[in-house]
Amino acid sequence: MGAFVIGMGKTRFGPTSKPMFELAQEAALDALRDASLQPDEVDAIIVANFLGGPNEGQLHLNSVLAGIFPGVHVPSWRTEAACASGGVAVHQAVLALARYRRVLVIGVERLSGVVGTQLARNIGMAGDAILDVAEGVSFPAAYALVAQSHMMRFGTTTRDLELVSLKNHANANLNPKAHFYLKKVTQGDIDQGPMVASPLRLFDCCPISDGAAALVVSSERSRDDDIEIRGSALASDVISLSQREDTTSFAATKEAAGRAYAEAGITPGEVDLAEVHDCFTIAEIVAMEDLGLCRPGEAVDAIRAGDSGINGRLPVNPSGGLKAGGHAIGATGVSQICEIVLQLRGAAGLRQVPGARVGVAHSVGGVGGTSAVHVLGAVR
Amino acid sequence: MGAFVIGMGKTRFGPTSKPMFELAQEAALDALRDASLQPDEVDAIIVANFLGGPNEGQLHLNSVLAGIFPGVHVPSWRTEAACASGGVAVHQAVLALARYRRVLVIGVERLSGVVGTQLARNIGMAGDAILDVAEGVSFPAAYALVAQSHMMRFGTTTRDLELVSLKNHANANLNPKAHFYLKKVTQGDIDQGPMVASPLRLFDCCPISDGAAALVVSSERSRDDDIEIRGSALASDVISLSQREDTTSFAATKEAAGRAYAEAGITPGEVDLAEVHDCFTIAEIVAMEDLGLCRPGEAVDAIRAGDSGINGRLPVNPSGGLKAGGHAIGATGVSQICEIVLQLRGAAGLRQVPGARVGVAHSVGGVGGTSAVHVLGAVR
């Protein structure tokens, strides 16, 4: 059975005063419009959201969003797998096609409006409350450990991290829906950014964003510019770095990528572009390796050579990624696939990757505790 | 494609000092043992949980529970749909059989250990933060409104509510895993219980429980006592009673039940027993009607006649239900199906419903914002 993205919609990522409902509604109705569907033509709704409870006092979000479709009584649920919630929801949509013809996936998150210390505590809920949080291993600290391991094993440098940041900010300047659209970021800004968790400085870290993204996934093609989901896979791992043998790569991503490529019948060499989960600059480097786009330790060679730029051999995060496009947690994995869809439709405007036919989206929860990998292909 | 429950496990419901991980592990390993499977023979894991974030500071629970299966990297996620989380997770498992041969569903919740006012606020997250919670419409208040509507329209009495409570406490006294196992509850206790939200008194309300339940759902039968999932359906509704026209029934349950019966190819008259979502006594009455087991307003006739007792014409909640069996929120919908499986296996001991061949499980989120209905059948 085929799986096709027949509609997509996305709000701008970044701070806003709009409530969650409005953000979700805007993205959902955009996706329906893009698919030329009425609200009652959707057979199931999957909502991806991470912090609605702790941040907004709102769980049971599938029922809240049923208010977008009153009287329809459509099957719906919310899924949560930390920062991978969106990618997981898209996988669930693919599975749901066994029964439902058209599934609407809505990813949504509001992170602004919560006091900083409280928000840090809430985001920490994606790590182990006992093994990590109680020991002070926040996410910047955990990814700093990954960066240090990677530097020690492979000779990766802070300059390499800076190159990722510079590229993603440059890409975001071509994406009107990016959190940091038209924000000028120089090498000097990055160099002089305050240290967050050594070696990660401010500009190595993605922002926290509000936003929503939506997709209509269908078992049937309806138009020429529908995009096929050729592979969809998840994998998990123990939650804490302290439980792992290797801290330079994520086994869950390698496992999910292997499954997704096998399902799609492709090798990593056939990938034209990737949207990867760069919550920190080091995460983009690790992702390029875990996805098999580069060999372990060799992502930096591609980055130094400019290969991961929009016009390079292997464009990564043309949207600006989480780093500069923004990270509206529950929406992020959905938004990545929106970007791939735009690219494969040839509709990505100034940030269009020339001749893109096959794209990969990669969504991670925690420090690799959950990973979702999707392979999408143009069908024209 | 068939869907079969090939293994089940459940902890006792009720207050405990065991952490969430241990509860989940106990139920999961029991289910695997019951299915004669090793941990690496499971192809996907679905975790149902409601308040892990607000209560325990722990989200991303699928990755935490991956620690039960280290090195396996199995696809996994957490689902949340308020008190329907467990029923929704079982529906997802049925959908997931399109790709995964054996899916382990784990429902888990810890509600004790949280200060009462904080817990009330957290449970309120299943309602609309703006339309309900900010206006003081807690769940006891919302179900009290449903009870008042039902009384005004159909002449239901507080005595009818008491009969539901008495029956479910009597049933729980036959269920060693029930929260109120061996608790003596008399008519006088119920009559004299403090008023919670008129007309609901203390013994009209279910307790809050800790606990876990697990199921192995498979696309293939493996043993004679496997139980077939003949129908599995979800439906949703707008979240707040204030948005509904009818407050004497739940449209989401009627919709889900219709879909589940159609899939199973049965009529409600063929149901031998039901486990329904009696978070309050009135909810059992509404469920009997919404599930089509009685006509609107006529559930009380069955209850007064004793038909819903274990040896009655239409046994409802032989486990003791949420009311006396306990309500470990994320686990509840899974636990209901464990009970149906035991009953259809003929293994329910002192509370066995004679000759049970077809059972229905009914799980509700909020005040009917989400409903999951499953029809299960013996295959011997």
B64 bridge partner residues: none
Cβ contact, residue pair A236, B57, below 8 Å:
no
Q: CA of A127 to nearest chain B CA: how many angstroms apart?
A: 7
More confident residue, B379 or B361: B361
Distance of CA A106 to the CA centre of its chain: 13
CB contact under 8 A, B53 and A233: no
**Strand, helix or coil at B52?**
helix
Instruction: Please indicate whether, in this complex, the C-beta atoms of A78 and B73 are within 8 angstroms of each other.
Output: no
pLDDT, tens digit (0-9, with 9 covering 90-100), for B323-357: 999 999 999 999 999 999 999 999 999 999 999 99
- Partners of B126 on chain A (C-beta within 8 Å) are 59-60
For residue B208, what are its two tokens?
């809050």
Helix H, strand E, coil C: the string for B103-135 is: EEEEEEECCCCCCHHHHHHHHHHHCCCCCCHHH
> How confident is the model over A223-230, as a mean pLDDT?
95
**Average pLDDT of span A108-124:** 94
Cβ-defined contact of B122 to A45 (cutoff 8 Å): no
Pick from A25, A95, A100, A128 the residue to mutate for testing the B interface (most B CBs within 10 Å): A95
Contact (CB<8Å) A238/B369:
no
Residue B70: DSSP 8-state: T
Q: Residues A16-22: contacts with CB within 8 Å, 24+ apart?
A: A16/A112, A16/A210, A16/A211, A18/A210, A19/A110, A20/A49, A20/A52, A20/A56, A20/A58, A20/A61, A20/A64, A20/A108, A20/A109, A20/A110, A20/A212, A21/A64, A21/A65, A21/A67, A21/A68
Closest-CA residue of B relative to A240 is B64
Mean pLDDT, rounded, of chain A: 97
The SS3 of residue A112 is coil
Q: Which residue of B lies nearest to A254 if distances are taken between CA atoms?
A: B73
Nearest CA in chain B to A82: B60
Q: For an interface test with B, give the residue of A80, A255, A364 to mutate (most B CBs within 10 A).
A: A80
* A chain contacts of residue B122, beta-carbon cutoff 8 Å: 53
Query: B99: nearest CA in chain A?
Result: A95
Whether the per-residue pLDDT at B241 is higher than 90: the answer is yes
What domains sit in chain A, N to C, each tagged with a CATH number? 4-114+211-218 (3.40.47.10)
Cross-chain Cβ contact B235/A96 below 8 Å: no
Q: Which residues contact A350 (CB under 8 A, 6 or more apart)?
A: A174
The pLDDT of residue B1 is above 90: no
Share the mean pLDDT of chain B: 97
> Chain A closest CA to B89's CA: distance in Å?
9
Active site residue B327: yes
Kindly give the pairing relationship between strand A76-80 and strand A44-48. parallel
At B71, is the pLDDT very low, low, confident or very high (cuts 50, 70, 90)? confident
Residue B88, pLDDT above cutoff 80: yes
**Cα distance between the two ends of chain B:** 18
List helix spans (H) across A249-328: 251-264, 281-290, 299-304
For residue A252, CA distances in Å to A95, A104, A287, A373, A375 come to 19, 26, 11, 10, 16
Report the pLDDT value the prediction gives residue B70, as an integer from 0 to 100: 83
Judge: A54–B58 Cβ closer than 8 Å, yes or no.
no
CB-nearest to A252 from B44, B73, B256 is B73
CA distance A205 to B85: 34
Q: Which of A56, A66, A81 sits opposite B60 (nearest CB)?
A: A81
CB pairs under 8 A between A and B: 197
Asked whether the beta carbons of residue A81 and residue B82 sit closer than 8 angstroms, the reply is no
Q: What is the pLDDT of residue A137?
A: 93
Q: How far apart are CA A239 and CA B342, in angstroms?
A: 34
Per-residue pLDDT band for B380 (boundaries 50, 70, 90) equals low
Q: What is the mean pLDDT of residues B222-240?
A: 96
Q: What is the mean pLDDT of residues B257-284?
A: 98
Residue type at A44?
Answer: A
Choose, out of B18, B42, B63, B263, the residue to mutate when testing the contact with A (most A CBs < 10 Å).
B63
**Catalytic site residue from A150, A277, A327, A362:** A327
Taking CA–CA distances from A237, the nearest residue in chain B reads B73
A54 and B53: CB-CB below 8 Å? Answer: yes
- Output the pLDDT for position A362: 98
Assess contact for A208 and A106: CB atoms under 8 A: no
Q: Across the interface, which of A56, A95, A239 has its CB nearest the CB of B64?
A: A239
* Residue contact B60–A80, C-beta within 8 A: yes
- Of the candidates B91, B277, B327, B374, the residue annotated as catalytic is B327
Question: Measured between alpha carbons, how far is B342 from B213 in angstroms, rounded to an integer?
Answer: 13
- Mean per-residue pLDDT, B215-231: 95
Please give the single-letter amino acid code of residue B298.
E
Of B56, B60, B75, the CB nearest to A82: B60
Tell me how close the Cα of A317 comes to any Cα of chain B, in angstroms: 25
CA distance A152 to chain B (A): 25
Residue A113 phi, psi (nearest 5): 85, 0
Residue A365 · residue B63 · CB < 8 Å: yes
| Strand A44-48 versus strand A102-109 pairing type | parallel
Distance between CA atoms of A108 and B231, rounded to whole angstroms?
31
Would you call B92 and A98 a contact, using CB atoms and an 8 Å cutoff?
no
Please state, in angstroms and rounded to a whole number, the distance separating the CA atoms of residues B336 and B46: 16
**pLDDT at A48 > cutoff 90:** yes
CB contact under 8 A, A62 and B236: yes
Residue A70 — pLDDT band, cuts 50, 70, 90? confident
Find chain A residues with C-beta within 8 A of B252's C-beta.
Answer: 73
- The predicted-structure confidence for B187-201, as pLDDT tens digits, reads as follows 999 999 999 999 999
CA distance B297 to chain A (A): 23
Q: A204 pLDDT exceeds 80? A: yes
Q: Which of A49, A123, A238 to mutate to test the interface with B (most CBs of B within 10 A)?
A: A238
> By the 8 A CB rule, do A52 and A24 touch?
no
The pLDDT tens digits of the residues spanning A237-293 come to 999 999 999 999 999 999 999 999 999 999 999 999 999 999 999 999 999 999 999
Q: How far is CA B250 from the centre of its chain?
A: 16
Beta bridge partners of A102: A218
pLDDT at A380 over 80: no
B221 Cβ contact list (under 8 Å, min separation 6): B2, B4, B6, B228, B379
Work out the average pLDDT over A297-308: 98
The CA distance from A214 to A217, in Å, is 10
Provide the H-helix boundaries in chain B. 20-34, 52-56, 61-65, 85-96, 116-123, 139-154, 158-172, 187-191, 251-264, 281-290, 299-304, 329-345
pLDDT per position as a tens digit, B288-317: 999 999 999 999 999 999 999 999 999 999
Q: What is the 3-state secondary structure (H, E, C) of B71-91?
A: CCCCCEEEEEECECHHHHHHH
